[in-house]
Amino acid sequence: MEPERLERFARHIVLPEIGGAGQAALAGSHVLLVGLGGIGAPALQYLAAAGIGTLTLVDDDDVDLTNLQRQTIYTTRDIGHGKAVAARRWVSNFDNALDVTISDARITPESAARVVESVDLVLDGTDNFATRLAVSDACVAERVPLLSAAVGRFQGQVGAFAGHLVGQPCYRCYVGDAFDADDCDTCAEDGMLGAMAGWAASFAAMQAVRILVSGNGGMGEPQWGQLHLLDGLKPGMRSLKIAKDPACKACGSTIG
């Protein structure tokens, strides 16, 4: 690692749980970030700050004035422009040593496998079940781990899934098949505390780092199948374990 990069990530490297080997693992990792909204925008800031070497950013939406309350990489100058393009511009200004590719095509069940192949981790911050399930199913098929994060009002959730592994659940095991329709509630209808999106997103970024350095063992297990529920009103957090569904149409064959 070049001296400038060593200095940039010095606060990571002095952590025994990460160290030089962990930082090198982050630099060599490829993360796909699906959705650049309330979760994806602040999560991207911490993924880039962590030195994730290769980032693929996917969002088919444009920046809107209402986004600025919580989607912290955008400014008023970005309104009306594509989120993926604006996000790549942000990363380039922040750290031009990172390799960034973008897509403004909406992910579908037909295209998802092509999008997730060859990445080390997917972080899904989209706002509808149809896309989440398409991404999850593709992750199982392509044997890619998935972090799924969501937020609304004063609540958030972050879960790590590896349904391609024997005995481990996928996201579909958690929500079932009833949500394949594009039918989520939206923050326009329900509202959202901007800082709540930041909490869920930064926690998701931390879990991403945990997974990517897990080969070195420093931050512990990847926590597959654990769902962390965040409550901004208490405030507090609780965790629960998701069971693998033997009848799951995506990962049921990997019961073992």
CATH code, domain with 202: 3.40.50.720
Domain presence at residue 208: yes
* Domain encompassing residue 220: 3-241
Domain presence at residue 139: yes
How high is the pLDDT of residue 218?
81
Considering the entire predicted model, what is its pTM?
A: 0.94
How high is the pLDDT of residue 184?
54
Domain presence at residue 248: no
How high is the pLDDT of residue 176?
87
* pLDDT beneath 70: ranges in the chain: 178-188, 255-256
What is the count of structural domains for the chain? 1
Domain presence at residue 43: yes
Burial call 154-165: b when 16+ CB within 10 Å, e when fewer: bbbbbbbbbbbb
Q: In one letter, which amino acid is 105?
A: A
Query: Torsion-angle region of residue 27: left (phi > 0), alpha (psi -120 to 50) or beta?
Result: alpha
How high is the pLDDT of residue 255?
58
What residues are paired with 62 via a beta bridge? 82
User: 171 burial class (0-12, 13-18, 19+ CB within 10 angstroms)?
Assistant: buried
DSSP state of 120: S
Kind plus residue range of the DSSP H or E element containing 31: strand 30-34
Domain presence at residue 49: yes
Domain presence at residue 201: yes
Domain presence at residue 256: no
How high is the pLDDT of residue 198?
97
How high is the pLDDT of residue 217?
74
Domain presence at residue 221: yes
